[in-house]
Amino acid sequence: MSKGGGQVLEIRNLGKTYGTGERATHAIADVSFAVEDGEFVCVVGPSGCGKTTLLKCVAGLLNPGSGEVLLRGSQVTSPPEEMALVFQEYGRSLMPWSSVWNNVLLPLRHKKLAAKERKQLVEEALAAVGLTRFSHHYPWQLSGGMQQRVAIARALAYQPSILLMDEPFASVDAQTRGDLEDLILQVREEFAVTILFVTHDIDESVYLSDRVVVLTHAPTEVKEIIAVDLPFPRDQISTKELPEFAHLRGHVYRLIKRDQVEPAELALAEPVPESGRRG
């Protein structure tokens, strides 16, 4: 893999607290790590450890309470143009009134591009995820896995240098999940993107990444950062049969398991984010 292009992304002492006073919930205490150019970094942690909050701060959608996110050295305060975000809830992030084509076109409409370039970008993105034949369909006419591929195509068409993914494959079946994992590895190769990928699936994190960042439960800190030196190209069967894979998987598993929280604490761990509330 092409690595070593220097740091593109640095998360420095990031903290986030919801609410104030006695009712304050410390979602993230202090998280720091960096992502190299071209790297695939997975973030795993126990459920409710503020992974989504972390990613939203990185994406510039949420202001961190403390610390900062640096993109090529400059602080992220609003969504940067070179980042694209793929959510877990594909069904909720696609526009049901627009065709697949128009959904993928959405982030390109306001970019200063010729009509021909836009068309080409959409075509390439749809081809990369194997949905060329479905461009005139509505998203809800497709299966869950295909809808998530539309969301990935939309992110690719935006031509980001960094792809942020928030548990993107958590709501599809196991078979589809494996296919999508391989798709994203292939896309990474083809489009030369840096990927920051949040998941709660330990196997997935080891299978996909160059490095795994393991988080503690809330208030969240970095427990350990593990380098994954499994060979590329990775394969759902042969890679997962490697003793190194089993070893790494076990290692991450132990880190998270040791960190399991009591149910009472868990209830406090995932606060409703501000944007999710209806005023």
Partner 1 sequence: MSKGAYRATAIAAEVAVPVAILLAWQAWTAQANDPKFPRLSTILVEFRELWLFSQFELHVVPSLTRIALGFGIAVIVGVAIGIPLGLSRRGRILAMPHIEWWRAMPPPALLPISIVLLHSIGDRQKVSFIAFFCLFPILLNTIDGVRGIDPALMETARSYGVGRFERIGRIVFPAALPQIFAGMRTSLSLAVIMMVLTEYFSSTSGVGYVLLISKNTFQLAPMWAAIVLIGLLGYLLNLLLVLIERRVLAWHRGWRAAAAQ
Q: Is there binding between residue 96 and partner 1 (CB under 8 A)?
A: yes
The sheet with strand 162-166 has its strands ordered as 74-75, 66-71, 7-18, 25-36, 220-227, 211-215, 40-44, 194-199, 162-166, 83-86
Beta carbon nearer to partner 1, 1 or 95: 95
Closer to partner 1 by Cβ: residue 56 or 149: 56
What φ, ψ does residue 126 adopt, rounded to 5°? -65, -35
How near is the Cβ of 241 to partner 1 at its closest, in Å?
A: 37
**Binding residue for partner 1, selected from 23, 133, 258, 278, defined by CB under 8 A:** 278
- Does 213 help bind partner 1 (rule: CB under 8 A)? no
Could you give the string, one character per residue 30-49, with x where binding to partner 1 holds by CB under 8 A and - elsewhere? --------------------
Per CB under 8 A, the segment of 1-9, 101-109, 123-131, 259-267 that binds partner 1 is: 101-109
The DSSP result for 115-182, as a single string, is: HHHHHHHHHHHHHHTT-GGGTTS-GGGS-HHHHHHHHHHHHHHT--SEEEEESTTTTS-HHHHHHHHH
Residue type, 146: M
Single residue of 20, 22, 109, 264 touching partner 1 by CB under 8 A: 109
Q: Does 279 bind partner 1 (CB under 8 A)?
A: yes
The span of 68-76, 136-144, 170-178, 223-231 binding partner 1 (CB under 8 A) equals: 136-144
Q: Which of 23, 110, 112, 258 binds partner 1 (CB under 8 A)?
A: 110
**What are the distances in angstroms from CA 143 to CA 129, 135, 137, 230?**
14, 14, 11, 32
61 part of the interface to partner 1, by CB under 8 A:
yes
Cβ within 8 Å of residue 204, ≥6 positions away = 42, 169, 177, 181
The site map against partner 1 for 142-161 (x = CB under 8 A) is: ------------x---x---
**Min separation Cβ 168 and partner 1, Å:** 13
What are the angstrom distances between the C-alpha of 224 and each of 48, 130, 150, 196, 254?
18, 36, 33, 16, 11
Rounded Cα gap, residues 247 and 251, in angstroms: 6
Residues 6+ apart with CB under 8 A from 185: 40, 208, 232, 233, 234
List the one residue from 138, 171, 176, 200 that touches partner 1 (CB under 8 A).
138
Based on CB atoms, which residue is closest to partner 1, 109 or 258?
A: 109
The residue ranges that bind partner 1 (CB under 8 A) are 56, 59-61, 79, 81, 83-85, 87, 89, 91-93, 95-98, 106-107, 109-110, 138, 140-141, 154, 158, 275-276, 278-279
